[in-house]
């Protein structure tokens, strides 16, 4: 038996990293039934970063911003560990003000205030470490909105 690690990113607008990994693993197994594919969805710091962390760390807690409705932005809290005794926050720009969230209707009005609010919420929670995914930005404010949060 051979173990095979399958670690794709998403294919923007078509399939998530988790769905791609599952499909690739299924295809691999159909050709090599004795092999053991291990799906590990990845992200490049943009859309899908929170999902990749959540897949890798099932003990991560979704920390909603706002009312916590489905589709509302959130950040992830990873459990404490020796290097981060108060936990690690993972904040994804794409989940707060990225291309997928903002759209292309008014590009000159796209800002990073929501990303700053998510960072502030994580810091207010008292985390020891902060991981920021800054891909898939739709902002045109050069990050000034982060500073106003």
The CATH homologous superfamily for domain 43-148 is Glycerate kinase, domain 2 (3.90.1510.10)
Of 139, 87, 75, 78, nearest in space to 112 by CA: 139
Distances (CA, A) of 38 to 31, 41, 48: 15, 10, 19
Domain spans of the chain?
A: 1-42, 43-148
pLDDT in tens, 112-148: 999 999 999 999 999 999 999 999 888 888 889 999 8
pLDDT in tens, 76-115: 999 999 999 999 999 999 998 888 777 666 677 778 999 9
Handedness of CA 60, 66, 68, 70 (dihedral sign): negative
Q: How many CB atoms lie within 10 A of CB 100?
A: 14
Instruction: Read off the pTM.
Output: 0.84
Q: Is residue 78 within 8 Å of 56, Cβ to Cβ?
A: no
């Amino acid at each position: 038996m051979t173990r095979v690690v399958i670690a794709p990113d998403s294919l923007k607008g078509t399939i998530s990293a988790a769905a791609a990994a599952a499909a690739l693993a299924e295809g691999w197994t159909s050709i090599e039934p004795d092999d053991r594919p291990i799906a590990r969805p990845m992200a490049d710091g943009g859309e899908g970063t929170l999902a990749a962390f959540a897949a890798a760390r099932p003990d991560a807690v979704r920390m909603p911003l706002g009312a916590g409705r489905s589709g509302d932005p959130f950040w992830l809290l990873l459990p404490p560990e020796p290097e981060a005794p108060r936990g690690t926050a993972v904040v994804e720009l794409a989940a707060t003000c990225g291309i997928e969230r903002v759209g292309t209707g008014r590009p000159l009005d796209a800002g990073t205030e929501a990303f700053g609010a998510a960072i502030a919420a994580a810091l207010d929670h008292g985390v020891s470490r902060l991981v920021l995914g800054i891909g898939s930005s739709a902002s045109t404010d050069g990050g000034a909105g982060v500073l106003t949060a």
